[in-house]
A = this chain, B = another copy of it.
Amino acid sequence: MKKAAIIGGTGYGAIELIRLLQLHKEIKVEKIISHSQHGEAIASIYPHLTDFIEEPMHELEIEKLQEEVDIVFFATPAGVAKEILPQFTNPNLQCIDLSGDLRLSSQTEYETWYGKDAATQQLLDKAVYGLSELYAEEIKQANLISNPGCFPTSALLGLAPALEHQIMSPQGISIDGKTGISGAGRTPTAKTHFSETNENVTPYKIGQHQHIPEIEEYLSDKAKTPITVAFTTHLIPMTRGLICTMYGQLAKKATTEEVIEIYQSYYENNPFVRIREAGVFPATKDVYASNFCDIGIHVDERSNQIIIAAAIDNLVKGAAGQAIQNANLMNGWEETMGLHTIPIYP
């Protein structure tokens, strides 16, 4: 049984890691580390954890930590992981960063979109992009993973097969993202204030979201041609759930059924991707609190477009669940270990 530490103990990413790892047979949460609230019991902040975790949260002690645990999950705000990671000297330590620090391979791109100093190029080069289904081989060899963003997870899983198989034209792709509000984290803001987000759909960061370069980098990689996309995001009055509805020009004649078959074959060894049959699209609730990505496909012959929707739980497949899936791959365990649970419904 391997020991894990979670850094950033009071955010939603950490909470979800704790919940999921309770069911994992090979990972034990050894330490929860919180800069702002070390010394406190986590259940005093999150009463739903009462009776599950007795030990108070710890302060980060880098030297000690890397001897005590085997795996470190960073569920930290932007900019934290890139400062801490270079201080770990234990070469066997497995690190998975759920923040955006290491997702873009280019420092310039990072600084343009994030408005902060980038990690060193060395660190960026070392990190493997952890979209489990698309980069499994690289992940198995890595000990530093940059866990994907929630929107990129949905968009890339939804678009990669169509682009790789040249069903969709690389030009003119539009991605309409819709997310539950937990995606904005736990800090109360006007954008997450119940009275204003309830009974409301709020478009935000139109054309300016930091997930744009991430989607484009890995989509270009898979399509083997540079791709730019129009990407929008909308806050939806629900806590969890994320769906990207995606539109592109058909690059060659194909029926809905033919494209579905290509997708089924593309993902046939990927237990967390489920392709709907023709005429059926996934709802976000179909994957609630689970690690699944459910995909619906429609070839719109009239407009010569292909429409794809990919639904995930933003906190599971879009964050903590995929991080654990990556830990499973890195350690040669079954990919589904601790994660193959039925979504909560209704």
**A residues whose Cβ falls under 8 Å from a Cβ of B:** 12, 15, 18-19, 22-23, 46-52, 172-174, 176, 178, 180-182, 184, 186, 188-190, 192-204, 206-207, 212, 228-230, 232, 234, 236-241, 243, 245, 247, 249, 271, 274, 276, 280-290, 294, 296, 298, 300, 302-305, 307, 309, 311, 341-346
Contact status of A194 and B237, CB under 8 A, knowing A47-B276, A346-B182: yes
Identify the closest chain B residue to A280 (Cβ). B47
Contact status of A48 and B342, CB under 8 A, knowing A201-B283, A238-B201: yes
The answer to whether A46 and B192 touch across the interface, beta carbons within 8 angstroms, is no
The answer to whether B203 and A19 touch across the interface, beta carbons within 8 angstroms, is no
For the complex, give the distance between the alpha carbons of A134 and B247 in Å.
28
Contact status of A285 and B345, CB under 8 A, knowing A47-B276, A230-B307: no
A175 to chain B, nearest CB (A): 9
Name 18 extra pairs, CB < 8 A, besides A49-B342, A50-B274. Answer: A18-B342, A48-B286, A50-B286, A173-B303, A174-B174, A178-B234, A181-B195, A181-B198, A186-B195, A192-B194, A192-B195, A198-B237, A199-B239, A201-B241, A201-B311, A230-B247, A232-B307, A240-B346
A12 partner residues in chain B, CB cutoff 8 A: 195, 346
A286 partner residues in chain B, CB cutoff 8 A: 47-48, 50
For the complex, give the distance between the alpha carbons of A276 and B199 in Å.
21
Contact status of A51 and B203, CB under 8 A, knowing A181-B195, A188-B189: no
Identify the closest chain B residue to A238 (Cβ). B199
A197 partner residues in chain B, CB cutoff 8 A: 194
The answer to whether A271 and B192 touch across the interface, beta carbons within 8 angstroms, is no
For the complex, give the distance between the alpha carbons of A188 and B288 in Å.
21
Count chain B CB atoms within 10 A of each CB in A51, A194, A239, A290 and give the residue with the most.
Answer: A194
The answer to whether B230 and A234 touch across the interface, beta carbons within 8 angstroms, is no
For the complex, give the distance between the alpha carbons of A280 and B207 in Å.
11
Q: List 11 A-B contacts (CB under 8 A).
A: A46-B345, A47-B283, A172-B305, A176-B247, A198-B238, A199-B284, A202-B281, A203-B282, A232-B245, A236-B237, A344-B344
A46 to chain B, nearest CB (A): 6
A2 to chain B, nearest CB (A): 20
Q: How many copies does the complex hold?
A: 4
A23 partner residues in chain B, CB cutoff 8 A: 23, 341
A176 partner residues in chain B, CB cutoff 8 A: 174, 176, 245, 247
The answer to whether A345 and B192 touch across the interface, beta carbons within 8 angstroms, is no
A289 partner residues in chain B, CB cutoff 8 A: 289, 344
Identify the closest chain B residue to A192 (Cβ). B194
For the complex, give the distance between the alpha carbons of A341 and B49 in Å.
10
A119 to chain B, nearest CB (A): 24
A1 to chain B, nearest CB (A): 18
* Chain A to chain B: the 10 pairs with minimum beta-carbon distance, closest first: A188-B188, A174-B247, A200-B285, A230-B305, A203-B281, A176-B176, A202-B283, A48-B343, A195-B346, A182-B195
Contact status of A188 and B193, CB under 8 A, knowing A15-B345, A282-B47: yes
A230 partner residues in chain B, CB cutoff 8 A: 247, 300, 303, 305, 307
Residue A305 contacts which of B50, B174, B290 (CB distance < 8 angstroms)?
Answer: B174
Contact status of A186 and B178, CB under 8 A, knowing A49-B342, A232-B245, A283-B201: no
A184 partner residues in chain B, CB cutoff 8 A: 195
